[in-house]
């Protein structure tokens, strides 16, 4: 699945475990383990910041040119705040733009009011997209800092008056409570990490916990639900494995599982950026 609708984000070059990206006005050089080819160095580019991995884990950003603490990047009519974060992140995954477009279209074409549940919701890009289309959103993440960032993104798009609630919570425990309450959703989006901890130290493992979570989520979907989107960046869960899990659990629904890829400028190459699975009730 090629994601090519960006104007303000581009991958300029990839080589030897690194990718050079243009984030509007700033060039960032970051490690990417899937870049196993050698196309030479990046010396001809005026790079704003480079992320250095540490041999003991983690790493740090080195600002080579003047770079702001944060800046705004636009995708179509949506705006997002990006900045240099720990573990080489910027607060936004550009390859997810295809899922924002998909969700927006489904919501806008729906004849009913749509309730969306966004799990592992991070900085809220999907929340912004769904709110912009007219849905109400429940945004769940275990990190207070990410929740605050999501609120900033919502305000940036002037959507703070829309129906949105933010919850700092463990995803599995939240869904279990929603089952007991009898709450239902028309769409669920989840972007689970390979490994993580909940708000009270709960341990999450993608290989062990994804399918049980999917089974729980099925219990809070309306019968005529619009869609489910599940993203994964873990090499421990291949595309076929995710496809099998979704086919088993949604055997009477349409299941699409595909690699997400971003184009690399001035070449016919593409950078793989994880896997997405979509289930629709059609």
At residue 206, the pLDDT reads: 87
Phi-psi domain of 275 (left: phi exceeds 0; alpha: psi -120 through 50; beta: other): beta
For residue 3, what are its two tokens? 């994601």
Is residue 39 situated within a structural domain?
A: no
Rg (alpha carbons) of the chain, rounded to whole number: 19
pLDDT in tens, 23-47: 999 999 999 999 999 999 999 999 9
Q: Do residues 194 and 233 lie in contact, with contact meaning Cβ atoms separated by under 8 Å?
A: yes
Is residue 71 situated within a structural domain?
A: no
Give CA–CA dist 42/56, Å, rounded.
Answer: 25
121-154 in b/e form (b: 16+ CB < 10 A) is: bbbbbbbbbbbbbebbbbbbbbbeebbebbbbbb
Is residue 53 situated within a structural domain?
A: no
Q: How much is the average pLDDT of 119-128?
A: 97
CATH number where 225 lies: 3.40.50.150
pLDDT in tens, 203-213: 778 888 999 99
Is residue 63 situated within a structural domain?
A: no
β-pairing verdict for 78-82 and 115-119: unpaired
Q: How much is the average pLDDT of 153-160?
A: 98
- The CA-CA-CA angle for residues 276, 118, 172, to 5°, reads 95
Mean of pLDDT over the chain? 95
- Name, in order, each residue with C-beta under 8 angstroms of 238's C-beta and a sequence gap of 6 or more: none
Q: What are phi and psi of 111, to 5 degrees?
A: -90, 0
pLDDT in tens, 52-83: 998 777 899 999 999 999 999 999 999 999 99
For residue 21, what are its two tokens? 């990206």
Give CA–CA dist 154/113, Å, rounded.
Answer: 19
Q: Which of 166, 171, 164 lies closest to 145, judged by CA?
A: 166
Choice between 237 and 273, residue whose per-residue pLDDT is larger: 273
User: Is residue 189 predicted with pLDDT exceeding 80?
Assistant: yes
Confidence of residue 199 (pLDDT cuts 50, 70, 90): low
Cα separations in angstroms, 48 against 32, 64, 149, 251:
18, 5, 23, 48
Percentage, residues of the chain above pLDDT 70: 99
Length of the chain: 282
Is residue 238 situated within a structural domain?
A: yes
At residue 196, the pLDDT reads: 75
At residue 161, the pLDDT reads: 95
pLDDT in tens, 211-270: 999 999 999 999 999 999 999 998 788 999 999 999 999 987 899 999 999 999 999 999
User: Is residue 282 predicted with pLDDT exceeding 80?
Assistant: no
For residue 148, what are its two tokens? 């605050």
| Count of domains for the chain | 1
β-pairing verdict for 49-53 and 26-31: parallel
Q: Do residues 206 and 181 lie in contact, with contact meaning Cβ atoms separated by under 8 Å?
A: no
User: Is residue 143 predicted with pLDDT exceeding 90?
Assistant: yes
Q: Taking each helix axis from N to C terminus, what angle separates 206-218 and 239-249, rounded to the nearest 10 degrees? A: 30
Is residue 114 situated within a structural domain?
A: yes
Q: How much is the average pLDDT of 159-182?
A: 96
At residue 86, the pLDDT reads: 84
User: Is residue 198 predicted with pLDDT exceeding 70?
Assistant: no
Is residue 73 situated within a structural domain?
A: no
Q: What are phi and psi of 210, to 5 degrees?
A: -65, -50
Is residue 18 situated within a structural domain?
A: no
- Name, in order, each residue with C-beta under 8 angstroms of 235's C-beta and a sequence gap of 6 or more: none
Question: Residue 115 is part of which domain span?
Answer: 94-280
Q: Do residues 21 and 28 lie in contact, with contact meaning Cβ atoms separated by under 8 Å?
A: yes
User: Is residue 197 predicted with pLDDT exceeding 80?
Assistant: no
């Amino acid at each position: 699945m090629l994601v090519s609708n960006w104007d303000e984000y581009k991958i300029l070059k990839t080589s030897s475990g690194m990718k050079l990206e243009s984030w509007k006005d700033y060039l960032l050089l970051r490690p990417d383990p899937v870049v196993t080819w050698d196309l030479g160095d990046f010396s001809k580019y005026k790079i704003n910041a480079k992320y250095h991995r540490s041999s003991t884990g983690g790493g740090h950003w080195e600002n080579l040119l003047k770079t702001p603490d944060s800046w705004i990047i636009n995708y179509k009519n949506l705006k997002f705040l990006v900045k240099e974060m720990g573990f080489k992140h910027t607060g936004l995954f550009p390859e997810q733009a295809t899922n924002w477009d998909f969700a927006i279209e489904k919501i806008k074409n729906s004849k009913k009011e749509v309730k969306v549940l966004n799990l592992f919701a991070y900085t809220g890009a999907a929340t912004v997209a769904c709110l912009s289309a007219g849905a109400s959103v429940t945004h769940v993440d275990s990190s207070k800092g990410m929740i605050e960032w999501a609120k900033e993104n919502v305000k940036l798009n002037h959507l703070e008056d829309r129906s949105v609630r933010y919850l700092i919570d463990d995803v599995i425990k939240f869904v279990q409570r929603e089952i007991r309450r009898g709450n239902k959703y028309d769409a669920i989006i989840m972007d689970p990490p390979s490994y993580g901890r909940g708000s009270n130290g709960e341990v999450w493992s993608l290989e062990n916990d994804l399918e049980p979570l999917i089974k729980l989520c099925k219990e809070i979907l309306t019968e005529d639900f619009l869609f489910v989107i599940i993203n994964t960046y873990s090499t421990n869960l291949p595309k076929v494995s995710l496809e099998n899990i979704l086919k088993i659990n949604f055997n009477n629904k349409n299941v699409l599982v595909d690699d997400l890829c971003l184009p690399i400028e001035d070449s016919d190459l593409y950078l793989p950026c994880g896997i997405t699975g979509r289930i629709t009730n059609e």
